[in-house]
Structure 1
């Protein structure tokens, strides 16, 4: 397993996504157990956001991580664009810190761009870094030109990461975004890496190739999809799982290395982009 460097830390290429986790009180124990299992398996990155369940995901993460050494974790949360002003961002951040029951977040992301000027958000982020409430800040759902504009701003190059949608079916970012990020030593945080766990819509040929590769590795198709996203050593993949069995499968996927022949077979049915494509969302 090759660790990924992000914001001065080296972490596992697999993280834990928390979209839709914490919304159902009856599932709380199951979800806490699943996240705990992932952390015990060596996963460090937990990705959440104030938007997820209107803070419920952060609350559940906070309950879970109380039982783990803080220094072993890499916590990511995200601020909504309407809260990303110099006036509102500190309040949003304080609420997130309270829900997570921590004093500092490792990486605080702008969830997507809104009406608040990015210059103002950057200054708000820098102020929060200065007072020690965040170690670093980054962005989410930024395309190549968005990053270029960001880098032109004062402190813009302090952004160490970008989180976007990436999986075998959504490969548009390979055309120019991933090359630009690699050139600037910026790791990718990939959300929806396993097609939202829904492969039923794939045609027979695609499923057959993925199953053939999975059988060769004595793995599941979902594990192959995860292994594919982290194949370059510059990506942190953040699948969501509120189920311990699936969490164990996810954690084990870091031990799968796809060979060139297998990667070419995947390329044969999930094409690389030949031109610029609109950024995939949600």
Structure 2
């Protein structure tokens, strides 16, 4: 299993997403247990955001990580575009740090592009970094033209990552965004890496090739999808799960080594993009 280098750290390529977590009191203990199972089995990256449950996901994460060595974890949170100004970003960041009960974030992301100039946001992020409140910063849901613009700005080259939707059914970024990020040596953080909840996800269990690959590797289809997502050693996948069994399965996906033949079979049913496509969102 090859770790992925991000912001000067080498981390386990499977992380944990927390969207839609922390909101239901009757599921709280189950969600805590699932995340802890992941951490106990090597996971380092936990991804959250001020938007998730209006801070409830961050509070869940704070409770979950209490028994763990903070320095071994890699905590990510995200600021809303409307809060990404010089004036408001420090306030949002401070609120996230309080909810997470930590002194710093390993990575702080702009959740998506808004009306505040990205130059101003970068200045605010750099200020937070100089104060030791964040170790690094990046962006989320930005496309090629946005990344190009960032690279022309002062400190733009310090952008550590771009977090976007990416899975076997959403391969559009492979046409231009992934090659660009590879050239910049910027790792990708992939959300919705198995897309369980949408039409693509619901049809997966019927896909003959995926069934065959799962049998060949003595795994399930969702593990094949995760193994595919992290196949290049430059991607961190952040599936979300409140189920301890699914969490262990997610972690074990790193053990699957897809062959060239496997990848060609997958390309035959879910082909690489041959032209520019709109960025897939949520």
**Normalised by the shorter chain, which TM-score bucket?**
over 0.9
- Distance (whole Å) between structure 1 residues aligned to residue 271 and residue 281 of structure 2: 19
Q: How does 1:173-212 map to 2 (within 5 A)?
A: 173-197=173-197, 199-202=201-204, 204=206, 207-212=207-212
Per the alignment, do residues 178 and 220 of structure 1 end up closer, same or farther by CA in structure 2, a change over 3 Å counting?
A: same
- Distance (whole Å) between structure 1 residues aligned to residue 197 and residue 35 of structure 2: 17
1:165 paired to 2:165: yes
- Distance (whole Å) between structure 1 residues aligned to residue 89 and residue 110 of structure 2: 10
Contact 1:48/1:58, CA 8 A, preserved across alignment: yes
- Distance (whole Å) between structure 1 residues aligned to residue 49 and residue 80 of structure 2: 8
User: CA deviation digits over 1:149-172, x for unaligned, max 9?
Assistant: 001000111101100000000000
SS in 2 for 1:42: coil
Tell me the residue number matched to 2:129.
Answer: 129
- Distance (whole Å) between structure 2 residues aligned to residue 197 and residue 132 of structure 1: 38
What is the aligned residue count?
280
- Distance (whole Å) between structure 2 residues aligned to residue 16 and residue 256 of structure 1: 18
- Distance (whole Å) between structure 2 residues aligned to residue 153 and residue 281 of structure 1: 25
1:12 paired to 2:12: yes
User: CA deviation digits over 1:110-153, x for unaligned, max 9?
Assistant: 00000000010000000000111000010001111110100100
User: CA deviation digits over 1:242-269, x for unaligned, max 9?
Assistant: 1111100001001111001010000000
Contact 1:13/1:235, CA 8 A, preserved across alignment: yes
Tell me the residue number matched to 2:119.
Answer: 119
What is the TM-score of this pair, normalised by structure 2? Answer: 0.98
- Distance (whole Å) between structure 2 residues aligned to residue 122 and residue 53 of structure 1: 26
Q: CA deviation at 1:200?
A: 2.2
Q: How does 1:1-282 map to 2 (within 5 A)?
A: 1-197=1-197, 199-202=201-204, 204=206, 207-282=207-282
- What runs of 5+ residues in structure 2 fail to find an aligned partner? none
Q: CA deviation at 1:45?
A: 0.2
Contact 1:197/1:222, CA 8 A, preserved across alignment: no
- What runs of 5+ residues in structure 1 fail to find an aligned partner? none
